[in-house]
Amino acid sequence: MGSDLCGLTAWELSGLYANGRTSPVDVMKTTLERIQSLDPTVNAFCQVADEALESARASEARWQRGAPLSQLDGVPVSIKDNIAVAGLPTRYGSRATMPEAAASDSPSVARLREAGAICFGKTTMPDFAHKIVTDSPLTGTTRNPWDRSRTPGGSSGGAAVAVALGMGAVAIGTDGGGSIRIPASFTGVFGFKPSFGRVPHAPRGPFGLLSHVGPMTRCVEDAAQILTIISRPDSRDWYALPFEGADYARGLSCLPVPGGIRIAFSPTLGLPVIAEAAIHDAVVRTAAMFRELGALVHVADPPGVAQCNAVHTTLWRACCRQLTDGMTDRWAELDPSLQAYAQAGNGISRGELLGALIEREELGAAVNAFFERHDLLICPVYPDVAPSLTEASSNEASFPHFTAWCNQLGLPAASLYAGMTATRLPVGIQIVGGRHADALVLWASHMLERAFGRAPFGELTRELSAAAAGATPA
């Protein structure tokens, strides 16, 4: 089966493990070979764990005894570099951090290990996850595999690229303003930002009120299974929601048919930002598909998105200011754009910060009322497909207009592949639910995935493998 193993989903791998047609050792070896072959051209990984094969052997032994820890036992999972993995440094993509190994796992990694998943490496990210382009003074530039002159987005750009190229079936990312959903849209993978508090995370740090941990996968079913595991309780996170024992994967087939589901769709969210034709058409096409299935569909903008974005700007700058406080001796090591955010945060008074938090509460109440009238919202993830590296790095308009409001209000939101442009770039759409409606967002994503299909990752990998055979590193 060879390199084809890298193209399988976590669900498919677990089925092969169960019937003995392949093993976690074979999959891990093939994954490491894929990374060695392709990563020099895209720069998705900053670290790979030395004990990955040892973990795979332990998993293989469990499957042979008929005692796997879960269906995810032996599945390779990459972890973003701002999430602690015991034994590996947590560098946050920054030269301002020290290369000291983490003493313990973060909650999501601990739950994955308990399930037998192999957390085998760390993926690249921008300096402290502060922007939606994945480049940093520490690790360099991460490139989009569909067009290496373009960005995969950020800040979970390395995670998205890893999944798209089969360098691990699953990646765990974080999303503070769109950092899972934007890279997912730009690379064609599925990305899910859960409700705030759904997935315990520690330590939260300065971005703790905005950042969410979530899965990036090649199919919705994998993301649902991962969420079932990483949403289990951990007392280290004071914000964590009560654990209800939900099985999100089973829920994909347990929810009702679309008839009667109330769908709002909006190509602009009421913002003066015009989505490109491919993005606009994907949103409209998705709404039409729901209507054909019997859903109640109409155009509607959620209230206050522009105000949410303004609050996001205030809080983000304040967070960057707090993050860099005390870094005087390491200031020169920081990305200049992070320095600029932090300096902008210097001018935010305590009164302005408190005012932003109060306004966020008021906006949240208004959006709660919106989701009492609508079950789901379909809208863009980003107004365009993946921009060039030059454009993405220099364009102030790369603000996450369509995604940041979901972080401010703690809403569950997904980025789902909805087709390719004529120039072979993925198009993504965003599915947003009311607070705590994670299962409904995953169900809708699963239903649409069956209609849209998945991005042609096998074709992409074959082309990149052929190019990499004679390519110089990115």
Percent of the chain residues past pLDDT 70, beyond the cut = 97
Phi, psi of 19 (to 5 degrees): -95, 5
β-pair type (170-175, 212-217): antiparallel
55 is catalytic: no
**pLDDT tens digits for range 30-71:** 999 999 999 999 999 999 999 999 999 999 999 999 999 999
pTM for the model stands at 0.97
- Element of type H or E holding 191: strand 190-193
- CA distance to 83, 160, 262, 389, per residue, from 149 (Å): 28, 16, 40, 6
Asked if residue 448 lies in contact with residue 20, where contact means CB atoms within 8 angstroms, the answer is: no
Question: What number of other Cβ atoms are within 10 A of residue 470's Cβ?
Answer: 6
122 is catalytic: no
- Sorted by where each begins, the domain ranges of the chain are 2-309+349-468
* pLDDT for residue 148 is more than 60: yes
- Element of type H or E holding 228: helix 220-230
Q: Give mean pLDDT, residues 337-344.
A: 96
**Of these residues, 155, 156, 266, 445, which one is catalytic?**
155
Query: Predicted confidence band at 1 (pLDDT cuts at 50, 70, 90)?
Result: low
- Element of type H or E holding 446: helix 438-452
- At a CB cut-off of 8 Å and minimum separation 6, what does 440 contact? 255, 375, 376, 433
The CATH number that domain 2-309+349-468 falls under is 3.90.1300.10
**Of these residues, 14, 23, 108, 179, which one is catalytic?**
179
**pLDDT tens digits for range 354-378:** 999 999 999 999 999 999 999 999 9
- CA distance to 208, 209, 360, per residue, from 364 (Å): 18, 14, 6
Q: Give mean pLDDT, residues 196-200.
A: 98
pLDDT score for 3: 59
pLDDT score for 474: 45
Q: Is 237 left (phi over 0), alpha (psi -120 to 50) or beta?
A: beta
155 is catalytic: yes
pLDDT score for 350: 96
Q: Which of 52, 53, 125 is nearest to 95 (CA)?
A: 125
* pLDDT for residue 209 is more than 50: yes
**Of these residues, 23, 78, 80, 131, which one is catalytic?**
80
Q: Give mean pLDDT, residues 286-312.
A: 97
**pLDDT tens digits for range 155-185:** 999 999 999 999 999 999 999 999 999 999 9
**pLDDT tens digits for range 228-239:** 999 999 999 999
